[in-house]
Structure formats: structure tokens, C-alpha cells
């Protein structure tokens, strides 16, 4: 695995993103050790941000730490994925409910544009474009709910969700099946346009559970290689 030198000051998050990309690409597999010194040397940084990144990844269940063995990549377990997506569906469902009354016309236009970007990404089978706009779509709703406690809870599982999302979407890209995620945000947007908070919450929950089911199917089908 080759880690790239960093270009900004959020060093520990850069390390986190590098490790996530290595997991998604298959360069780091479940059980592989995370060696601070190796990463710090390749990224041309001190070991402190690497250590901080590992702590963050341990907190989110992506990396595990054992005495004498050190930090290593955790296996992908269907039950863990199911639990995370269930939690996410409840948290983001509530965020959608609270955001409904706060959306301005310009906010809704942003969501519509992000959804259109995702639609074009499915036609291009462009995983990076799809993921970037998908994350922005969900982040916009979270920001608009204006509830700091809820936002902190969602942020608490964001890195894990980012990893799961990338694994799921890149699998669809590899099989030219990204269209399975086509227009999945439309029911949520329609609920916002109607100012129907209860419907927005329900649609968000169903959307997230459905996305989680796709990832669980993939993990179960490829368990020998992933766990």
C-alpha cells in the first residue's frame, strides 16, 4: 500500500480518507495491520495525526486494536452493517423531519441539482461523482435541520457510513449496476416540496434501509474475500 503526501492542515482526516480508500480498493483487507510509522513516512507527516486517525477509525468500528497485535482492519460483518444503517435511518429520518419546515426555495434547488448530478452519474457509471453528490445531499439535510445534538450524532457514524457507501457504490460501478440507485432521492425531495415532514422522515428511513440491504447482500455474497 502506498500512502500519498498531504497538502492541507486537516492531517488526521486526510489519513482517515487514505485508509478508507485503501480498504475500498482492496489494498487493505480485514486483518491487515495499520502501522503508524509506515503511513507517516509515506505521507511525510509526523506520527501524531496518524495516531489520531487510528483512534477515530477505532471509535467508528472500522479499525480494531488488540494488545500486542496493534491496530488492524476490522472485518465487514452483515449484522454490524445492519445496525449502523438502522441507526442512520432513524437519525437522518429525524433530520429530514426537522429540516422540512426550514427549507427555502434555494435550499430545495440545491437538493434538486444534487439529485440531477447523481442521475447523470448513474448514466455515466461514475462512482466518484455519484458518491460526492450523495454525501452532499445528505449533509445538506443534516445542516438544515439546525439541531446540533442530532448533527453530532450523525457525525459520529459518518466515517463508517462513508466507507460502507463507497464499498457498495463501487461494487455497483464494477458491475455497471449503478442505475440501481437511480432517482432514489426523488421521494424524499417530493416530500420536502409538499412540506410533508412525516413523509420526508419515512422516505428517508426507507431509502437508507434499502441502501444498507444492497451492501449486506454484497458482503454476504463475497464473505470469503471481505471478512
3-state secondary structure 95-120: HHHHHHHHCCHHHHHHHHHHHHHHHH
Q: What pTM was estimated for this model as a whole? A: 0.83
Residue 81 is predicted with a pLDDT of 92
Q: How confident is the model at residue 5 (pLDDT cuts 50, 70, 90)?
A: low
Closest CA to 100 of 186, 193, 185, 208: 193
Residue 10 has pLDDT above 60, yes or no: yes
Long-range contacts (CB closer than 8 Å, 24 or more residues apart) made by 1-8: 1/27, 1/28, 2/42, 3/38, 3/39, 3/42, 3/43, 4/42, 4/43, 5/42, 5/43, 5/44, 5/45, 6/43, 6/44, 6/45
- Going from N- to C-terminal start, the domains of the chain cover 11-73, 78-226
Query: Rg of the Cα trace of the chain?
Result: 18
Among 13-17, 73-77, 182-186, 219-223, name the one with the lowest average pLDDT: 219-223
Q: What percent of the chain clears pLDDT 90, i.e. is strictly above it?
A: 63
Structural fold of domain 78-226: 1.20.120
Residue 225 has pLDDT above 90, yes or no: no
Q: By the 8 A CB rule, do 170 and 46 touch?
A: no
Residue 205 is predicted with a pLDDT of 98
The stretch 129-158 carries a mean pLDDT of 94
Contacts of 54 (CB under 8 A, 6+ apart): 34, 36, 63, 65, 71
Kindly report the number of other CB atoms within 10 A of residue 100's CB atom: 22
**What is the C-alpha separation between 7 and 130, in angstroms, rounded?**
24
The stretch 139-164 carries a mean pLDDT of 93
Q: How confident is the model at residue 7 (pLDDT cuts 50, 70, 90)?
A: low
78-226 has the same fold as 11-73: no
Residue 6 has pLDDT above 60, yes or no: no
Closest CA to 17 of 215, 219, 166: 166
Determine how β-strand 63-66 pairs with β-strand 70-73. antiparallel
Closest CA to 34 of 76, 75, 74, 72: 72
Mean pLDDT, rounded, of the chain: 90
Residue 69 is predicted with a pLDDT of 81
Residue 162 has pLDDT above 80, yes or no: yes
Residue 111 is predicted with a pLDDT of 97
The stretch 143-172 carries a mean pLDDT of 91
Q: By the 8 A CB rule, do 202 and 94 touch?
A: no
Residue 184 is predicted with a pLDDT of 92
Residue 8 has pLDDT above 60, yes or no: no
Domain 11-73 annotated CATH 3.40.50.300: no
Q: Which three cell numbers stand for residue 127?
A: 462512482
Residue 64, strand partner residues = 72
Give the residue with greater pLDDT, 188 vs 70. Answer: 188
Amino acid at each position: 500500500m502506498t500512502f500519498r503526501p498531504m497538502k492541507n492542515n486537516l492531517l488526521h482526516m486526510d489519513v482517515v480518507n487514505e485508509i478508507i480508500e485503501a480498504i475500498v480498493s482492496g489494498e487493505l483487507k480485514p486483518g491487515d495491520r495499520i502501522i503508524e510509522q509506515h503511513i507517516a513516512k509515506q505521507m511525510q507527516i509526523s506520527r501524531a495525526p496518524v495516531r489520531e486517525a487510528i483512534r477515530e477509525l477505532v471509535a467508528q468500528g472500522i479499525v480494531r486494536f488488540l494488545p500486542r497485535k496493534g491496530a488492524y482492519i476490522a472485518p465487514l460483518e452483515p449484522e454490524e452493517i445492519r445496525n449502523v444503517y438502522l441507526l442512520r435511518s432513524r437519525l437522518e429520518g429525524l433530520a429530514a423531519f426537522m429540516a422540512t419546515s426550514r427549507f427555502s426555495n434555494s435550499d430545495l434547488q440545491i437538493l434538486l441539482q444534487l439529485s440531477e448530478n447523481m442521475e447523470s452519474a448513474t448514466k455515466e457509471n461514475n462512482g466518484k461523482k455519484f458518491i460526492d453528490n450523495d454525501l452532499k445531499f445528505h449533509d445538506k439535510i443534516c445542516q438544515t435541520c439546525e439541531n446540533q445534538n442530532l448533527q453530532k450524532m450523525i457525525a459520529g457514524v459518518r466515517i463508517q457510513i462513508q466507507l460502507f457507501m463507497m464499498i457498495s457504490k463501487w461494487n455497483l460501478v464494477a458491475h455497471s449496476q449503478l442505475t440501481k440507485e437511480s432517482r432514489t432521492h426523488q421521494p424524499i425531495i417530493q416530500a420536502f416540496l409538499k412540506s410533508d415532514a412525516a413523509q420526508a422522515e419515512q422516505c428517508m428511513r426507507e431509502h437508507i434501509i434499502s441502501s444498507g440491504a444492497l451492501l449486506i447482500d454484497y458482503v454476504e455474497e463475497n464473505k470469503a474475500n471481505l471478512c
